[in-house]
């Protein structure tokens, strides 16, 4: 253990349990409706990170295993976004996630900016796929929420002669665009409010601050590009009726 790392031991385990319990208790008392989910998410994170920590050594040594792990990331991201958007019927969410993230990973490999090694590919792909997943989930949920709450406006636009796609986009596109706000705020305030994981990780790995800063800048701008693509495709899928909820399906 170094002085820059968390001290691993019983105290850390106790701290994790206390923080999980605190988060769940606050969510429950505040009637946010996610108390149990916080506990489940914390337990899942611990188990999944433990499993990945054991398997990562074998995975990064093989390009085929690395490709398989990246594919697994995409599948899990798709399932997660699909559940958030349409209760598990959103396999179309794979399109914005994959189209937003993997072309950038491939481009980085082809240009030589990203080494063709598992230890480099997996974390970069994970960051980009995770960003695409979050943007897809937020854009899909907000677009469908607006279509539910502003259904009359869609009908009015149709009555005025707009095509169904244009009427839906008129209502849901502004709301879906808000999915970019977290990435925008993180980029605007980096170094002033937050020091994101890539920056800290590169520093802890022994690199100089300039290299860490350039790495983090690339990650942030890459995420903006990935999430912008994911949001646009998600909105188009909603407008085309590919991503929808049961109540909206009946009314289309």
In a domain? residue 189? yes
pLDDT of 249 higher than 60: no
| Pair (152, 100) in one structural domain | yes
In a domain? residue 99? yes
Express each pLDDT in 12-42 by its tens digit: 888 889 999 999 899 888 878 778 889 999 9
| Pair (96, 176) in one structural domain | yes
Rounded to the nearest angstrom, the gap between the alpha carbon of residue 130 and the centroid of all alpha carbons in its chain is: 3
Express each pLDDT in 102-158 by its tens digit: 999 999 889 888 888 888 888 889 999 999 999 999 998 888 888 888 777 777 877
Beta carbons of 116 and 104 less than 8 angstroms apart: no
| Pair (164, 90) in one structural domain | yes
In a domain? residue 47? yes
| Pair (225, 139) in one structural domain | yes
Q: Which whole-number Å values give the CA distances from 88 to 41, 117, 174, 222, in the listed order?
A: 18, 34, 25, 28
Predicted confidence at residue 74, as pLDDT, reads 94
Give the chain's mean pLDDT: 82
- Picking from 22, 38, 60, the residue at the C-terminal end of a domain is 60
Smallest CA-to-CA distance from 196 within 218, 179, 181 is with 218
For the residues 221-235, what does the mean pLDDT come to?
Answer: 91
| Pair (247, 161) in one structural domain | yes
| Pair (44, 111) in one structural domain | no
Predicted confidence at residue 233, as pLDDT, reads 93
| Pair (91, 179) in one structural domain | yes
Beta carbons of 77 and 100 less than 8 angstroms apart: no
| Pair (227, 144) in one structural domain | yes
Structural domains in the chain (count):
2
In a domain? residue 166? yes
In a domain? residue 158? yes
The residue that leads in pLDDT, 192 or 101, is 101
| Pair (31, 130) in one structural domain | no
Tell me the whole-structure pTM to 2 decimals. 0.78
| Pair (106, 228) in one structural domain | yes
Express each pLDDT in 187-216 by its tens digit: 888 777 766 666 556 555 565 677 767 777
Predicted confidence at residue 89, as pLDDT, reads 63
CA separation for the pair 175, 143 (Å, rounded) = 6
Q: Which whole-number Å values give the CA distances from 150 to 26, 90, 145, 154, in the listed order?
A: 32, 22, 8, 7
In a domain? residue 43? yes
Predicted confidence at residue 170, as pLDDT, reads 79
Beta carbons of 108 and 163 less than 8 angstroms apart: no
In a domain? residue 2? no
Predicted confidence at residue 190, as pLDDT, reads 77
Q: Which domain holds residue 42?
A: 7-60
Predicted confidence at residue 194, as pLDDT, reads 66
Predicted confidence at residue 61, as pLDDT, reads 79
| Pair (20, 68) in one structural domain | no
| Pair (153, 228) in one structural domain | yes
Express each pLDDT in 41-80 by its tens digit: 999 988 888 887 777 777 877 888 889 999 999 999 999 8
- Considering only CA atoms, give the Rg of the chain: 21
In a domain? residue 1? no
């Amino acid at each position: 253990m170094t002085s820059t790392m968390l001290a691993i031991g019983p105290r850390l385990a106790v701290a994790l349990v206390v923080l999980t319990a605190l988060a769940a208790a606050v969510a429950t008392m505040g009637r946010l409706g996610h108390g149990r989910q916080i506990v489940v998410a914390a337990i899942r994170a611990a188990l999944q990170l433990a499993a990945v920590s054991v398997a990562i050594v074998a995975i990064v040594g093989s390009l085929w295993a690395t490709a398989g792990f990246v594919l697994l990331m995409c599948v899990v991201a798709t399932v997660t976004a699909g559940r958030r958007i349409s209760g598990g019927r959103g396999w179309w969410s794979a399109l914005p996630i994959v189209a937003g993230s993997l072309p950038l990973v491939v481009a980085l490999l082809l240009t030589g900016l990203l080494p063709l090694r598992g230890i480099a590919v997996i974390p970069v792909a994970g960051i980009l796929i995770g960003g695409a997943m979050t943007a897809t989930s937020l854009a899909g949920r907000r677009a469908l929420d607006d279509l539910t709450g502003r259904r009359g406006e869609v009908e009015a636009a149709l009555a005025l002669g707009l095509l169904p796609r244009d009427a839906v986009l008129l209502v849901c596109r502004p709301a879906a665009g808000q999915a970019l706000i977290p990435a925008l705020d993180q980029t605007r305030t980096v170094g002033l409010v937050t020091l994101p994981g890539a920056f800290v990780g590169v520093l802890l790995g022994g690199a100089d601050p300039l290299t860490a800063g350039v790495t983090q800048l690339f990650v942030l701008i890459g995420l903006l590009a990935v999430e912008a693509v994911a949001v646009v495709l998600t909105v188009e899928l909603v407008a085309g009726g590919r991503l929808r909820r049961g109540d909206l399906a009946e009314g289309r």
